[in-house]
Chain A
Amino acid sequence: MTQLLLFNVTNGLIIGAFYVLMALGLSLILNLSNVINFAHGGFLVIGGYIAYTITPYIGFWGALLLAPPLTAVIGLAVERVLIRPLYGRDPLYSLLLTFGLAFMIEDGTRFIWGPQGKPVTIPAFLAQPLSNDLFFITGYRLFMVAVVMIAVTLLFLLLRYTRLGIRIRAGTLDLETVAALGINVQMLRSLNFAVGIFLAGLSGVLAAGQLGLEPTMGTGLLMPSFIAIIVGGIGSLPGTLVGGLLIGVASGLTAVFLPAASEAVIYVMMAVVLLIRPRGLFGEEGMMS
């Protein structure tokens, strides 16, 4: 029983780590630009497939380093051409546009790489389980969690100490004042978008190593990321972090006792949070209205 519990909690944490990476990117874009990026799951898939394509030439480590920035470049181009004209219009339009974009990305990857799942080879020493008792803790899973932790730490350092990060945080609170202070807001939004997409690309590479690749894999991760943001509190990145881990562990634990409800439980959590604390766990008063 203990082992089963441990197994599911570990699983939950690892899934939660994915949610966190996805949700942090979504949250960054949502907070600064008021855009719900429905295509975020699509960018995750793009990141994964880029890794799959370049792994034979530069190996897994090279792909891990190169695929996320390449994804971010694609994201930058998309932001520039498609999303930029929509800032300042009703958020409905960016929502619909990224929604259509998600369709195109899913179908496009299916067209280019085929509908069958693709495996990404990971280094052999990472694929080994650590011990016989804890067969489910492979080196790769620990490695994934470590990468997510490093990425999240770097993101928070970036936001706390660099000029770009400080501007992003200021822009989240009051974009008009930031613009009035002579900061190029368009550029700020583009860079912020690129950071968000970088995180999606990174989760794509990591997910590819663990789960293999499928054109539809991004869609399944999108909804939990939404909920992570709502539970943690819109406008709060630490909230998103906690929210993601929380719903990951909650669905892992539910899988032990009531497997059929393991997906529904995160929605129940959201409903409870909205009832008791409408702004979310770490949300500021008024951010959600």
Chain B
Amino acid sequence: MSAESTRKLIALAAIWITLLLAPYWMAPLGGYTALATRVLVLGLAAMSVNFLLGFTGVLSFGHAAYFGLGAYGAGLTLKFLALSTPLALVAGTLLGGVCGAILGTLIVRRRGVYFAMVTIAFGQVFYYIAFQWSSLTGGDDGLRGFSRQPIDFGFFKLDILSSADNFYFFVLFCFALVVAAMGFILRSPFGRTMIAIRENERRSRFLGIPVERHIWIAFTLSCFFMGFAGALYALVNNFADPRGLHYSQSGDFVMMAVMGGMRSFWGPLLGAAVFVVLQDYLSSVTVNWMSFVGLLFVLVVLFFPRGLLGFIQRSKA
């Protein structure tokens, strides 16, 4: 084994141990387990955005829509269809993913800023639907009146509603599944093709790669991941909010990815951790937290465009 792969293995072990032990080290540092759960879910969302942004090189600025659809899918299932947490997760994932797949066909021919513009505009469609269709979605007040259900294994029930720690481990398990799927796809020939498209689209086309179809598949996959993250988020809050579909939420996700480092697999998780903790802290100390978040955007873009991980790697080299 080379030194490089040993280092990677150690880093990977460190990440998972940190995540596994989060409920135990968060509290002494002044955090709480629910905060760790939120970081995990929003980190998953940021990683899904980065699946498209960092590894295929196309910027979707409307991904919050699929996140929000996942949340509503899960919430509506729990409220009206069945009191089952796994079913809610499946329904949310499908809702986000299928809507993404359909709209993706309209979007994939655009590139660059135009791709961003069209994704924003289509994302807003879902925001307006959630906002206007109050009889189903609760409109501006959001969707209430559901809660996550204990997981029934037949011989034993896992209570994830009242125990914050149990719920954290449940979310971590889901997170691990999706992250493993993402990593697997990125290592596959398909994942390599995505990176080839990012690096040089024209060349990939000359090599006979059907670029549009690959971008559509990548977009659809990331919408499925996003829907799953959104469904988890509905379980975190026992609530789904139309603002979760708004483009400003998409901006936050993109920011997490960029701040952490969009060229790296784990960067967005780090970005999400910093972003969530900072926002949590700022909104508790000042009413003008929006200005500070805005300032954070400006500073990151001007001074840390490669993100925290990019910055660390660069200064090491």
Query: A-side interface residues toward B, CB under 8 Å?
Result: 30, 34-36, 82, 85-86, 89, 91-97, 99-104, 106-108, 111, 223, 226-227, 229-230, 234, 260-261, 263-264, 267, 270-271, 274-275, 278, 288-289
Partner of B124, one of A102, A103, A267, A289: A267
Residues of A within 8 A of B109 (CB): 278, 288-289
Is B254 a contact partner of A271 (Cβ separation < 8 A)?
Answer: no
Is B296 a contact partner of A263 (Cβ separation < 8 A)?
Answer: no
Is B291 a contact partner of A103 (Cβ separation < 8 A)?
Answer: yes
Is A96 a contact partner of B258 (Cβ separation < 8 A)?
Answer: yes
Is A34 a contact partner of B113 (Cβ separation < 8 A)?
Answer: yes
Provided the pairs A82-B298, A95-B59, A226-B120 are in contact, do residues A289 and B114 lie with their beta carbons within 8 angstroms? yes
Most buried by A among B129, B247, B291: B291
Is A93 a contact partner of B305 (Cβ separation < 8 A)?
Answer: yes
Is B295 a contact partner of A104 (Cβ separation < 8 A)?
Answer: yes
Is A223 a contact partner of B290 (Cβ separation < 8 A)?
Answer: no
Provided the pairs A100-B298, A260-B132 are in contact, do residues A223 and B124 lie with their beta carbons within 8 angstroms? yes
Instruction: Show 7 residue pairs from A and B whose CB-CB distance is below 8 angstroms, ordered by the A residue.
Output: A92-B53, A95-B113, A96-B301, A107-B294, A108-B291, A111-B288, A229-B117
Provided the pairs A267-B128, A271-B106 are in contact, do residues A100 and B118 lie with their beta carbons within 8 angstroms? no
4 smallest CB-CB distances across A and B, nearest first, come from A100-B297, A103-B294, A104-B294, A107-B290
Residues of A contacting B: mostly:
helix
Closest to B297 in A: A100
Closest to A229 in B: B117
B86 within 8 A of A: no
Residues of B within 8 A of A102 (CB): 294
How many residues of chain B are within 8 Å of chain A by beta carbon?
40
Residues of B within 8 A of A30 (CB): 113
B171 within 8 A of A: no
Tell me the bound Cα distance from A288 to B298 in angstroms: 27
Provided the pairs A91-B113, A92-B254, A95-B59 are in contact, do residues A104 and B291 lie with their beta carbons within 8 angstroms? yes
Is B111 a contact partner of A289 (Cβ separation < 8 A)?
Answer: yes
Provided the pairs A96-B255, A97-B302, A267-B124 are in contact, do residues A275 and B106 lie with their beta carbons within 8 angstroms? yes
Is A96 a contact partner of B291 (Cβ separation < 8 A)?
Answer: no
Tell me the bound Cα distance from A89 to B297 in angstroms: 16
Tell me the bound Cα distance from A104 to B288 in angstroms: 9
Residues of A within 8 A of B298 (CB): 82, 97, 100-101, 104
Provided the pairs A92-B59, A95-B61 are in contact, do residues A223 and B121 lie with their beta carbons within 8 angstroms? yes
Would you give the shortest CB distance from B142 to chain A, in whole angstroms?
A: 18
Is B110 a contact partner of A267 (Cβ separation < 8 A)?
Answer: no
Is B110 a contact partner of A288 (Cβ separation < 8 A)?
Answer: yes
Would you give the shortest CB distance from B195 to chain A, in whole angstroms?
A: 16
Would you give the shortest CB distance from B190 to chain A, in whole angstroms?
A: 23
Residues of B within 8 A of A274 (CB): 106, 118
Interfacial residues of chain B within 116-161, with CB under 8 A of chain A in the complex: 116-118, 120-122, 124-125, 128-129, 132
Is B254 a contact partner of A96 (Cβ separation < 8 A)?
Answer: yes
Is A97 a contact partner of B254 (Cβ separation < 8 A)?
Answer: no
B293 within 8 A of A: yes
Is A89 a contact partner of B305 (Cβ separation < 8 A)?
Answer: yes
Tell me the bound Cα distance from A234 to B114 in angstroms: 8
Tell me the bound Cα distance from A144 to B117 in angstroms: 28
Would you give the shortest CB distance from B60 to chain A, in whole angstroms?
A: 11
Residues of A within 8 A of B129 (CB): 264
Tell me the bound Cα distance from A280 to B128 in angstroms: 23
Closest to A102 in B: B294
Tell me the bound Cα distance from A92 to B50 in angstroms: 13
Is B301 a contact partner of A91 (Cβ separation < 8 A)?
Answer: no
Tell me the bound Cα distance from A100 to B120 in angstroms: 16
Per-residue CB contact flags for chain B residues 277-317 toward chain A (1 = under 8 Å, else 0) read: 00000000000101101111110111001000000000000
Tell me the bound Cα distance from A223 to B113 in angstroms: 15
Tell me the bound Cα distance from A260 to B129 in angstroms: 10
Interfacial residues of chain B within 189-208, with CB under 8 A of chain A in the complex: none
Tell me the bound Cα distance from A99 to B111 in angstroms: 20
B112 within 8 A of A: yes
Residues of B within 8 A of A35 (CB): 113
Would you give the shortest CB distance from A194 to chain B, in whole angstroms?
A: 20
Closest to A105 in B: B294
Provided the pairs A104-B291, A263-B128, A270-B121 are in contact, do residues A93 and B297 lie with their beta carbons within 8 angstroms? no
